Structure 1
Amino acid sequence: MLAMNKIKILGITVITIAATVVITSCKDKRSTGWEYAPNMYEHIAYDPDQKNDNFKDGKTAQVPPAGTTPIGFVRFDYPNTHDGYELAGTEVKSPLPQTPANYADGEVLFAHFCSPCHGLTGQGDGLVVQHGFPPPPSYSKGQSSRGGAMKDLTDGKIYHTITYGLNAMGSYASQLAPDERWKVIMYVHHLQTL
């Protein structure tokens, strides 16, 4: 008798499981069931390339308004021209204080970014020159391609050159932040006296 009850219970259990599987398999496949935190994957913000009726041109990605400066960006409003170079040379001065820490940082930055061409002492004898490339002028003895002695270059002229590049030297604006450029300039002024 006890064995028959066990078989009966086992049979009912198997039939119940089979019925559940059949019923749930026939369910509408488009429904995903309950949603937990749908805002995690269905955002209400517009994608940058999505059409947006909130703007006259219908684009989501908008150009910043004229005259605005992004957070953390430092403006350098001197054009990449000879006149911009000369104007920067007369108007632009270093905003950083002359401290031993800034000077030491400038020396390290110069060694990493500038010495491959300019050499560790700024004489234009870096590793790149030793491999056959034309040497840049010496900071203490050379003449600038824009006129005048390299030892007389001002903060603004050096900053302009680091920002935009000159001749074979490319721009270092993406490698050196504005404050790092000023630290390099502090060290270059030291090299101009050697």
Structure 2
Amino acid sequence: MIGLIVAATGCNEVRRDPGKIYVPDMYYSRALETYSSTEALTQAGIHYNARPVEGTVARGAMAAYPFKNDSVGYARSAEVKNPLNASAVDMKETERIYLINCGICHGAKLDGNGPLWKGGDGPYPAAPRNLVTDPIATNMAEGTMFHSIKYGKNLMGGYGSQLSTKQCWEIVAYIKAKQAEAANPAMAAVN
């Protein structure tokens, strides 16, 4: 009997009205796909900018390099220190990145004798800098080295468009580690 009463009251024609809805655009949301095309917005005259807000840094990303590619930026780059801990850098992966991007000129041994120079027999017109023994390279600040990798210097082109900021800093750490090994061969033998 109770079940019959419940069934009868549940199946009546009385509409259940929730009352007034505060902020209906939030209550009845439009079904938009997160990564859908924005062409419909553009056609409606709404111009959508998908670029991040200037000055923001994505979670887990490194802060942007603050200096421009000019003489002032190059001079001030010496103030910047490598934000990566040298022990945290994966030297095997960084060596691979170095060989792909830098080794063609500077050589696998960082001696400036890469395939494009070949001791003067290659197609390159000038010897690339020896990154291990040249005093200019060994005394170069980390930030200046980063600036040179990112923007290029003299005959060397910039690699800022091919390498991420983190990869540039890893290459700086790799070069500095190889310079330290060359300066102290006894430590290199231990490692």
Distance 1:114 1:65 in 2: 31
Distance 2:94 2:52 in 1: 35
Q: How large is the Cα RMSD of the aligned pairs? A: 3.0
Identity %: 23
After TM superposition, give the deviation of residue 66 of structure 1 in Å. Answer: 7.0
Query: Superposed, which structure 2 residues align to 1:29-178 within 5 Å?
Result: 46-47=38-39, 50=42, 52-54=44-46, 60-62=47-49, 67-69=54-56, 71=58, 72=61, 74-90=63-79, 92-99=80-87, 101-130=89-118, 131-133=122-124, 134-142=126-134, 149-178=136-165
| Alignment-derived partner of residue 146 in structure 1 | none
**Is the Cα–Cα contact under 8 Å of residues 116 and 126 in structure 1 kept in the other structure?**
yes
**Is the Cα–Cα contact under 8 Å of residues 125 and 135 in structure 1 kept in the other structure?**
yes
CA separation of 1:88 and 1:52: change in aligned 2, threshold 3 A: farther
Number of residue pairs matched by the alignment: 142
TM-score by length of 1: 0.61
Distance 1:184 1:141 in 2: 17
Structure 1 gap ranges (5+): 1-38, 55-59, 144-148
Runs of 4+ aligned residues of structure 1 deviating over 6 Å after TM superposition are: none
Mark the structure with the bigger radius of gyration: 1
Distance 1:75 1:113 in 2: 21
After TM superposition, give the deviation of residue 114 of structure 1 in Å. Answer: 0.9
